[in-house]
Structure 1
Amino acid sequence: MVARSLARSLSLPQQAQAPRPARRPGPEVIQAVQRSCRAVTDRPVRLAEVFYDHLFEMAPTTRAMFAADMTGQMQKMTDALLAAIAQISAQDTAELEVVLHRMGREHYVKYHVEPEHYMYVAHALTRAVRDVADQDYSSYLSSCWIAVIQWVTEHMVAGTRAAMGTPVIHGPR
C-alpha cells in the first residue's frame, strides 16, 4: 500500500516501475505442489543437496555465503520450504507473508543476499524438485512450482529491498 502511494506520488513512467506482484497461486496449483512434497519430505536432505548443487553451479559466487559444513543449513532450508508450502493454502496468508518478508530482510542483513540472488534460488529449487520427484515431475507440476516459488521469493525480495532501503514500486493492478 505504501509502495503504491509512493509510486503515484512520484508519477514514475510505466517502464520505470517494477512488474506487478505475483498473485498467490490458486488452490489447484497449491494442491499439486503440496502433493509433490511427499517425494520431497521422504528425502528432505536429498532435496537440499540437489538444490545447493544447482545453486552453486548457476551462481558459483554464492558458495562463499555458506559455511563449509552445510548440514544444518540444508535442514533449515528444507524445513522452511515445507512449512511455507504447508501454510500457503491458508485463506489468509498475511502471517506467512510477514515471515517471508522478515526472512528476506534477515538474509540480506546477515548473509548479504541480494535481490538478484533469488532468481538463482528459484531456478535451483525448481530443478532440485524435478530431480528429487523424478518420474512424478511434469511440465504442469513445473509450472505449479514456479508459480509458488515466484510468490514466495517476491515476499522475500520485498524484505531484502526494505533492508536495503530500496522502495518496492509496483505498477498499477
Structure 2
Amino acid sequence: MHESEIQLVQASFAKVAPIADQAAGIFYDRLFEIAPHVKPYFKGDMKVQGAKLMTTLGVVVKGLRDLDKIVPVAQQLAIGHVAYGVTPEDYAPVGEALIYALKTGLGDDFTPDTANAWIRAYETLSSAMIEAAYSKAAE
C-alpha cells in the first residue's frame, strides 16, 4: 500500500473509533442482510463480537506500515475461521459490509479516495487470508 492510502485508512478509522459500537452494529446488520448464510457462524453475544471486530480492525489499521507483522496474524485468524464454516466466498460480502459501515458511519468524510484506500487494504489482507486458510485446508 502507498503511504497516502495508509494515511487515509488510519485517519478515517480514527474518526470511526468513537462510534465503534454503532459501526460494528451497522457492519453486522449489513453483512446479515447481504449474506444471511453467514449468521450461523456467530454464536455469541454480538456486542462482544462487534468489540472484537473493532479491536482487530484497530490493530490491523495501526499496523498497515508493517504488513510483514500484520499479515501472518491475519492469516492465523483466517485459518481459525475455517472451523466455523467460513468459505473463500464469504470474504466478498464481509468487505462489502465493511465499506458500507465505514461509509454510513463517516458520511461525507468517506471520500472516494478513502473508499479506494480501504478497498485496497481489505483486498491485500483478505487475499493473503484466503490463500493461507484454504491452501492449509486443502492439505
TM-score by length of 2: 0.94
Uncovered stretches (5+) of structure 1, i.e. residues with no partner = 1-24, 167-173
Alignment partner of 1:116: what SS?
A: helix
| Corresponding residue number in structure 1 for 2:64 | 88
Deviation at residue 68 of structure 1 after TM alignment: 5.6
Matches within 5 A, 1:1-173: 25-67=1-43, 69-90=45-66, 93-109=67-83, 111-165=84-138
Deviation at residue 67 of structure 1 after TM alignment: 2.1
**In structure 2, what residue type is equivalent to 1:97?**
V
Does the 8 A contact of 1:87 with 1:96 survive in 2?
Answer: yes
Deviation at residue 27 of structure 1 after TM alignment: 0.8
Deviation at residue 154 of structure 1 after TM alignment: 1.2
**In structure 2, what residue type is equivalent to 1:27?**
E
Deviation at residue 88 of structure 1 after TM alignment: 0.9
Alignment partner of 1:67: what SS?
A: coil
Moved over 6 A (4+): none
Does the 8 A contact of 1:40 with 1:47 survive in 2?
Answer: yes
Q: Which has the higher helix share?
A: 2
**In structure 1, what residue type is equivalent to 2:37?**
T
**Inter-partner Cα distance in structure 2 for 1:163 and 1:120:** 22
**In structure 2, what residue type is equivalent to 1:119?**
A
Deviation at residue 56 of structure 1 after TM alignment: 0.5
Larger-Rg structure:
1
Summarize deviations over 1:17-64 as a string: whole Å, max 9, x none.
xxxxxxxx1110010110001221111111110110110011011111
Please report the RMSD computed on the Cα atoms of aligned residues, expressed in angstroms.
Answer: 1.3
Uncovered stretches (5+) of structure 2, i.e. residues with no partner = none
* Paired-residue identity, %: 26
Alignment partner of 1:142: what SS?
A: helix
Give the total of aligned pairs.
139
Summarize deviations over 1:43-102 as a string: whole Å, max 9, x none.
111111011011001101111111263111110011001100100123xx2221110110
